[in-house]
Structure 1
């Protein structure tokens, strides 16, 4: 399985990748939503995208909306991983097409638990 980790912080991309890789994901990284769309446009197939909200060039909500608008990307599981914790923001992201929402800071167990709920990792699989 392949995951696209989208965050303007290189450190945060590495942290998320360090959680996903032991769970069996090959990780591709992007620094903003536009860069991530470019990766998908190049034909890179991903099962999961972990998306930050606040990024330059293209924010995470716009990325989610653009991905959901394209039939060929409808199977991509979208998980927001962001500091945005207001209930209204969470509702907006889920309404736009995100499947799950993780608020930073998070633990590896939180990410794994969300991936179990989404059926992307087996219950009890360790990070």
Structure 2
């Protein structure tokens, strides 16, 4: 059972983020886009944190976040967007949906380790 779900259409980013988190004590699942992310969340109730890209085919990260809150009715999982998008309007939309945090790429693992552990109840 995973406690973090990494959702990104880039296999390189999935590997960088999931590898870093795994090496630092997290149980990690991965998904290739928002649709896949929703399937993972449905099948693994232990996921406490979703780290997702915004721009992905099939379903973008904010649409997935919205569906997590509405269709899945999951208000407990924390959602952090890890993306190149830094548009204030998109960030505001994310906040309204229930996105917990917004990180602009590149991924700096050491900077998020403490906050991610706290979001997962590990510290």
Q: For this structure pair, what is the TM-score category when the shorter chain's length is used for normalisation?
A: 0.7 to 0.9
- Structure 1 runs not aligned, ≥5 long: 123-127
Distance 1:101 1:118 in 2: 14
Corresponding residue number in structure 2 for 1:20: 21
Distance 2:10 2:78 in 1: 21
Distance 1:19 1:120 in 2: 18
Corresponding residue number in structure 1 for 2:12: 11
Give the TM-score of the pair, scaled to structure 1. 0.84
4+ residue runs of structure 1 moved beyond 2 angstroms? 116-122
Corresponding residue number in structure 2 for 1:2: 3
Distance 2:23 2:118 in 1: 18
Give the TM-score of the pair, scaled to structure 2. 0.87
TM-aligned CA deviation for residue 116 of structure 1: 5.1
Distance 1:86 1:20 in 2: 27
- Structure 2 runs not aligned, ≥5 long: none
Question: Aligned pair in 2 of structure 1 residues 107, 61: CA closer, same or farther (>3 Å)?
Answer: same
**Residue 53 in 1 paired to residue 58 in 2?**
no
Number of residue pairs the alignment of both structures matches: 120
The RMSD of aligned alpha carbons is 1.7
Asked if the contact 1:23/1:121 (under 8 Å) is kept, the reply is: no
